[in-house]
C-alpha cells in the first residue's frame, strides 16, 4: 500500500509539470496585460515598459516560465500584482482556501445527508410514490442552477425572515464556530443540493443494480433478515461506484465555486481566481489553478484508496 | 425402511403477470418427496423447474404470483405462512443452493461472516460459538485450512470451494429439505463429482430430502432416487430413476434420453435432438404443450390437455397416447 501511494505521488509530478505549462501558456497567451490594467487610464508607453521590466514580463516566455517554476520549487508562489498588490500569493491562497475547504466539506455533508438515504429509499420503493417523488425532486435539483437556489435562500432567510446571517458574508471560525456556521449553512445548502441530486440518482441506480444480484437472492434464501440484506448485501456493494461520484464532486468543490461564493459574498478561492482573472494577476491565477490541479490529483488518489477499503477484490500492489 | 413424507406439492400454479401477458410458469404441478430421498427435477430452461423451487421457498416476487395449490412441508402448508414465518423456514427447514457460486456470494463479506449470519438469524448462539460452528462447517464440507479460510473472501477461492461454502451455508441450520439449483453447472467434471459425493454424504448424515434441479440426465441417473420431468411449466413424467430410465412413457422423456451421448454408440452418429422449439409460455398452443414437437401426436392431442396418470407403480406420465406408443415400439 505504501509503495503504491508513493508510486502514485511520483506519477503526479509529470502531470503537474504538464499542467503548469498549460496554465502558464493560457494565462500569458490570453489577451490583456496586467500592467495596462494596473495603470488604468494612464496608458503611458514608457511607464508600461518600465513596469513590465520590473515585473519580468518583458522576458521571453520560456524564461518567464522557468523563473516561475524555479520559484515554485523553492516554495515561493510569487507576489500578487494587482488583486492585492505586494501581498505574497501563498498568504492570499491560504486565507481563502480555508473558506473554500469549509464550504466544500459542508456542502458535501449536506449533499450526502440528503442523497444517500433518499437514494436507498427510492431504490427500495422502486416505481412507488416515494421513488417518483424523489426522482422528480432530484431532477429539479440537477436542473436548477445553484446560484438560483442561493438567491432564493437569501430572499427567504435574509429578506422575508430578516435574519442578518441570511444575507451572506463570512465570519472566520476563530470568531466563533456558531457564527461561522450560521453564515456557511445557506451556501452549503445551495451548493449541496445540486450535488445531492447527482449522488442520489447514482445511489439509486447502483442499488437497483445490486438488488438484482444473485447474492442478494442467496441471502434471502438463507433467511437473512431484510434489514441485514439491505445493509450488508445491497447498500455495502452499491456504495462502491457511488464513491467515485462523491470523489469527483469533492474534486469539483475544491476548485471553488465562483458563483455560490459571489452570491453569498464569501471570500473563497473561486472569488479570488475570478478577481485575479479580471485584473490579469498572473501569479495568483497560476498558483491557484496549479493548487487546484494538485488537490484534484490527491482526491483521486484518496478515492482509489477508498475503493480498496470498500471492495476486497481490489488490491493495490507495487506491481500495478 | 418406511420413509416419512417430507414435501408434497399439489396442483401448484405460479404465474407471472408481465407487460407482455400472463406467463404460465408452473401449471398444475404435483410432486412429493420423502425424507432422505433425492428427487431430480429435469427440464430445459423455462420449463418451470426453478420457479417450482422458488415457489417452495416462498420467494416468488412481483409480478409473479402463486395462484393455486398447496405446498406441504411435513404436512404444513407453506402458502399460509407469513413472510416472517417463511424467513425462519428459509435457511432453517429449507435451504437452497444456487447455480453460479461466484455471483451467489457477497463479494464484500468474508466467507465466515456470510455463513455466520445465517446461524445468527436462526439460532440464539453466541458469536463465539457461531464462529466455532462456522469453522466446523467449513471443515465438514471439505475446505482445507478452515480457520484461515474463515476470513477469506469469495474471489480468493476456486469455483468448487465456493460451491462448498454455499453448501456449508445451506446446511448450517440442519435443514430437512435442501434444494440444489444446478449446483455444478459452472464446475468442471471432476469437481462436479466431488460436490455430488459431498452432497451424498451430507444427505446421509442429516437425513435430508434433496431436490436437485438440473438439465443433465446423467447427473440424475447417478445421484437421484426419483425423477420428475418438466416441460413448459407442466410436470409430464415422474417415477423412480430405475423405472424412468428403463421405460419412458412420455415422448419428450424419450427424446431427452435419446439425446444423451452414448460412449458405446457409433462414432459418426449425430446426436439426437428433439425437433422444434419450446412453446411461448404466454401463448400456449392449447391441448398438450408438447404436441407441436411430438412425433406421436394425434388430432386429440391438440385439443385435450393430458393430466398425470399412473401407468406403473410410482411411475406417472401426462400423455394421452402412452399405451399406444408403448405397443408401437
pLDDT in tens, A267-291: 999 889 888 988 888 889 999 999 9
Which domains are delineated in chain A? 2-73 (no CATH), 93-310 (1.10.3720.10)
Q: In chain B, whose CA is at the least distance from the CA of A310?
A: B108
Whether the pLDDT of residue A318 is over 70: the answer is no
Q: Are A202 and A248 in contact (CB under 8 A)?
A: no
Q: Residues A162-168: what's their mean pLDDT?
A: 76
Q: From B255, B258, B249, B256, select the one nearest B319 (Cα to Cα).
A: B249
Q: From A216, A212, A240, A238, select the one nearest A228 (Cα to Cα).
A: A216
What is the sign of the dihedral through the CA atoms of B202, B208, B211 and B216? Answer: positive
Determine, yes or no, domain membership for B84: yes
Q: What are the Cα distances from residue B85, in Å, to A236, B60, B92? A: 26, 15, 11
Whether the pLDDT of residue B164 is over 90: the answer is yes
Q: From B97, B105, B99, select the one nearest B156 (Cα to Cα).
A: B105
Whether the pLDDT of residue B291 is over 50: the answer is yes
In angstroms, the separation between the Cα of residue A236 and the nearest Cα of chain B is: 8
Tell me the pLDDT tens digit for each residue of A54-91: 888 888 888 889 988 998 888 888 888 888 888 899 99
Contacts of B103 in chain A (CB under 8 A): 213-215
Determine, yes or no, domain membership for B148: no
Burial of A147 (0-12, 13-18, 19+ CB in 10 A): middle
- The residue count of chain A comes to 320
Distance of CA B44 to the CA centre of its chain: 12
pLDDT for B328: 63
Q: In chain B, whose CA is at the least distance from the CA of A228?
A: B117
**Contact criterion met (CB < 8 Å) for B117 and A214:** no
Question: Poorest-confidence range of A37-41, A78-82, B151-155, B161-165?
Answer: A37-41
Contacts of A218 in chain B (CB under 8 A): 98, 104-106, 166, 169
**Contact criterion met (CB < 8 Å) for B87 and A218:** no
* DSSP classification of residue A161: S
| Chain A residue set in contact with B, beta carbons under 8 Å | 213-215, 217-226, 228, 232-233, 236-237, 240, 310-313
Q: From A136, A130, A106, A105, select the one nearest A118 (Cα to Cα).
A: A130
Tell me the pLDDT tens digit for each residue of A166-194: 777 888 888 888 888 888 999 999 999 88
Q: Residues B15-30: what's their mean pLDDT?
A: 91
Instruction: Supply the angle between the helices A61-73 and A2-29 in degrees, to the nearest 10.
Output: 140
Which string of DSSP letters, residue by residue, matches B189-232? HHHHHHHHHHHHHHHHHHT-EEEEEES-HHHHHHH-SEEEEEET
Q: What angle do CA B206, B207, B213 make, to 5 degrees?
A: 100
Q: What are the Cα distances from residue B80, in Å, to B69, B86, B91? A: 11, 9, 18
Whether the pLDDT of residue B168 is over 80: the answer is yes
Determine, yes or no, domain membership for B164: no
Tell me the pLDDT tens digit for each residue of A202-260: 999 999 999 999 999 999 999 999 999 999 999 999 999 999 899 989 988 888 788 88
pLDDT for A317: 63
Q: Which helix (H) or strand (E) holds A62?
A: helix A61-73
3-state SS string over B32-80?
Answer: EEECCCEEEEECCCCCCHHHHHHHHHCCCCCCEEEEEEEEEECCEEHHH
Most confident by average pLDDT, A247-251, B74-78, B289-293: B74-78
- Taking the C-alpha atoms of residue B280 and residue B312, their distance in angstroms, rounded to an integer, is 32
Higher pLDDT, B175 or B44: B175
Determine, yes or no, domain membership for B112: no
Whether the pLDDT of residue A319 is over 50: the answer is no
Q: Are A203 and A131 in contact (CB under 8 A)?
A: no
Residue of B51, B87, B106 to mutate, interface with A, max A Cβ within 10 Å:
B106
Q: From A117, A108, A71, select the one nearest A286 (Cα to Cα).
A: A71
Determine, yes or no, domain membership for B159: no
In angstroms, the separation between the Cα of residue A243 and the nearest Cα of chain B is: 15
Other Cβ atoms closer than 10 A to B265: 10
Tell me the pLDDT tens digit for each residue of A115-138: 999 999 999 999 899 999 999 988
Query: How many structural domains are present in chain B?
Result: 1
What 3-state class would DSSP assign to B27?
A: strand
- Taking the C-alpha atoms of residue A123 and residue B221, their distance in angstroms, rounded to an integer, is 44
**Contact criterion met (CB < 8 Å) for B121 and A312:** no
pLDDT for B1: 53
Other Cβ atoms closer than 10 A to A256: 25
Residue of A221, A225, A235, A308 to mutate, interface with B, max B Cβ within 10 Å:
A221
Q: Are A157 and A165 in contact (CB under 8 A)?
A: yes
- Taking the C-alpha atoms of residue B256 and residue B106, their distance in angstroms, rounded to an integer, is 36
Determine, yes or no, domain membership for B225: yes
Query: B321: domain CATH number?
Result: 3.40.50.300
Alpha helix ranges (H) inside A144-281: 146-154, 177-211, 214-221, 226-228, 236-254, 258-263, 269-278
**Closest to A223 (Cβ–Cβ): which among B100, B108, B122?**
B122
Determine, yes or no, domain membership for B266: no
Q: In chain A, whose CA is at the least distance from the CA of B110?
A: A312
Which string of DSSP letters, residue by residue, matches B125-187? --HHHHHHHHHHHHHHTT-SSHHHHTT--GGGS-HHHHHHHHHHHHHTT--SEEEEESTTTTS
pLDDT for B2: 61
Range of the domain at B22: 5-93+175-261+272-285+308-328
In angstroms, the separation between the Cα of residue B123 and the nearest Cα of chain A is: 12
- Taking the C-alpha atoms of residue A312 and residue B13, their distance in angstroms, rounded to an integer, is 42
**Closest to B108 (Cβ–Cβ): which among A218, A222, A236?**
A236
**Contact criterion met (CB < 8 Å) for A232 and B117:** yes
**Contact criterion met (CB < 8 Å) for B88 and A217:** no
Tell me the pLDDT tens digit for each residue of B194-224: 999 999 999 999 999 999 999 888 889 989 9
Which string of DSSP letters, residue by residue, matches B238-294? EEEHHHHHH---SHHHHHHHHTS--TTS-TTPPPP--SS-PPPSSS--SS-TTGGG-
**Closest to A223 (Cβ–Cβ): which among B88, B98, B155?**
B88
**Contact criterion met (CB < 8 Å) for A222 and B59:** no
Determine, yes or no, domain membership for B235: yes
Q: How confident is the model at residue A320 (pLDDT cuts 50, 70, 90)?
A: very low
**Contact criterion met (CB < 8 Å) for B121 and A224:** yes
Instruction: Please report, in angstroms and rounded to a whole number, the separation of the first and last CA atoms in chain B.
Output: 36
Q: Residues B96-101: what's their mean pLDDT?
A: 88
Contacts of A77 (CB under 8 A, 6+ apart): A71, A88, A89, A90, A93, A283, A287
Tell me the pLDDT tens digit for each residue of B183-202: 888 788 889 999 999 999 99
What 3-state class would DSSP assign to B10?
A: strand
Amino acid at each position: 500500500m505504501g509503495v503504491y501511494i508513493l508510486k502514485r505521488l511520483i506519477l503526479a509530478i509529470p502531470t503537474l509539470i504538464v499542467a503548469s505549462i498549460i496554465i502558464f501558456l493560457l494565462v500569458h497567451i490570453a489577451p490583456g496585460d496586467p500592467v495596462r490594467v494596473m495603470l488604468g487610464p494612464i496608458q503611458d508607453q514608457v511607464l508600461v515598459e518600465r513596469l513590465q521590466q520590473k515585473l519580468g514580463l518583458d522576458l521571453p516566455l520560456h524564461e518567464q516560465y522557468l523563473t516561475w517554476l524555479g520559484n515554485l520549487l523553492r516554495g515561493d508562489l510569487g507576489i500578487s500584482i494587482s488583486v492585492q498588490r505586494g501581498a505574497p500569493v501563498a498568504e492570499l491562497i491560504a486565507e481563502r482556501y480555508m473558506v473554500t475547504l469549509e464550504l466544500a466539506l459542508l456542502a458535501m455533508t449536506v449533499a450526502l445527508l440528503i442523497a444517500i438515504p433518499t437514494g436507498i429509499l427510492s431504490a427500495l420503493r422502486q416505481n412507488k410514490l416515494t421513488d417518483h417523488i424523489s426522482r422528480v425532486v432530484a431532477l429539479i435539483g440537477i436542473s436548477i442552477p445553484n446560484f438560483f437556489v442561493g438567491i432564493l435562500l437569501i430572499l427567504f432567510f435574509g429578506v422575508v425572515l430578516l435574519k442578518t446571517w441570511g444575507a451572506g458574508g463570512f465570519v472566520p471560525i476563530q470568531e466563533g464556530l456558531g457564527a461561522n456556521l450560521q453564515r456557511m449553512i445557506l451556501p452549503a445548502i445551495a451548493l449541496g443540493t445540486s450535488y445531492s441530486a447527482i449522488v442520489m440518482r447514482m445511489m439509486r441506480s447502483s442499488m437497483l443494480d445490486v438488488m438484482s444480484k444473485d447474492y442478494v437472492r442467496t441471502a434471502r434464501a438463507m433467511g437473512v433478515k431484510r434489514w441485514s440484506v439491505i445493509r450488508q448485501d445491497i447498500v455495502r456493494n452499491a456504495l462502491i461506484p457511488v464513491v467515485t461520484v462523491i470523489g469527483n464532486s469533492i474534486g469539483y468543490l475544491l476548485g471553488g465555486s465562483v458563483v455560490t461564493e459571489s452570491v453569498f459574498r464569501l471570500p473563497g478561492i473561486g472569488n479570488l481566481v475570478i478577481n485575479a482573472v479580471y485584473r490579469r494577476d498572473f501569479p495568483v491565477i497560476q498558483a491557484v489553478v496549479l493548487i487546484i490541479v494538485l488537490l484534484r490529483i490527491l482526491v483521486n488518489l484518496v478515492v482509489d484508496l477508498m475503493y480498496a477499503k470498500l471492495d476486497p477484490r481490489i488490491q493495490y500492489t507495487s506491481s500495478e | 425402511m418406511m420413509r416419512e413424507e417430507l414435501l408434497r406439492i399439489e396442483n401448484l400454479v405460479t404465474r407471472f403477470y408481465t407487460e407482455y401477458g400472463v406467463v404460465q410458469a408452473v401449471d398444475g404441478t404435483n410432486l412429493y418427496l420423502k425424507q432422505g430421498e433425492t428427487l431430480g427435477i429435469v427440464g430445459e430452461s423455462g420449463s418451470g423447474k426453478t420457479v417450482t423451487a422458488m415457489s417452495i421457498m416462498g420467494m416468488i416476487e412481483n409480478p409473479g404470483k402463486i395462484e393455486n395449490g398447496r405446498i406441504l412441508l411435513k404436512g404444513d402448508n407453506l402458502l399460509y405462512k407469513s413472510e416472517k414465518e417463511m424467513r425462519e423456514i428459509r435457511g432453517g427447514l429449507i435451504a437452497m443452493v444456487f447455480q453460479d457460486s461466484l455471483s451467489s456470494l457477497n463479494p464484500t463479506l468474508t466467507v465466515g461472516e456470510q455463513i455466520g449470519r445465517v446461524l445468527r438469524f436462526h439460532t440464539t448462539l453466541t458469536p463465539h460459538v457461531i464462529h466455532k460452528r462456522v469453522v466446523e462447517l467449513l471443515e465438514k464440507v471439505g475446505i482445507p485450512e478452515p480457520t484461515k479460510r474463515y476470513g477469506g473472501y469469495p474471489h480468493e477461492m476456486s469455483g468448487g470451494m465456493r460451491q462448498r461454502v454455499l453448501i456449508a451455508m445451506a446446511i448450517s441450520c440442519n435443514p430437512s429439505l435442501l434444494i440444489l439449483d444446478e449446483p455444478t453447472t459452472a464446475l468442471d467434471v471432476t469437481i462436479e463429482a466431488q460436490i455430488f459425493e459431498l452432497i451424498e454424504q451430507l444427505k446421509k448424515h442429516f437425513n435430508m430430502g434433496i431436490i436437485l434441479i438440473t438439465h443433465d440426465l446423467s447427473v440424475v441417473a447417478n445421484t437421484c432416487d426419483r425423477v420428475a420431468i418438466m416441460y413448459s411449466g407442466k410436470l409430464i413424467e415422474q417415477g423412480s430413476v430405475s423405472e424412468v430410465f428403463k421405460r419412458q412413457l412420455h415422448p419428450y422423456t424419450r427424446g431427452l434420453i435419446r439425446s444423451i451421448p452414448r460412449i458405446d454408440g457409433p462414432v459418426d452418429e449425430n446426436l439426437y435432438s428433439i425437433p422444434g422449439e419450446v412453446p411461448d409460455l404466454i401463448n400456449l398452443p392449447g391441448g398438450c404443450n408438447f404436441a407441436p414437437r411430438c412425433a406421436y401426436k394425434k388430432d386429440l392431442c391438440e385439443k385435450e390437455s393430458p393430466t398425470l396418470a399412473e401407468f406403473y407403480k410410482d411411475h406417472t406420465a401426462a400423455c394421452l397416447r402412452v399405451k399406444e406408443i408403448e405397443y408401437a415400439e
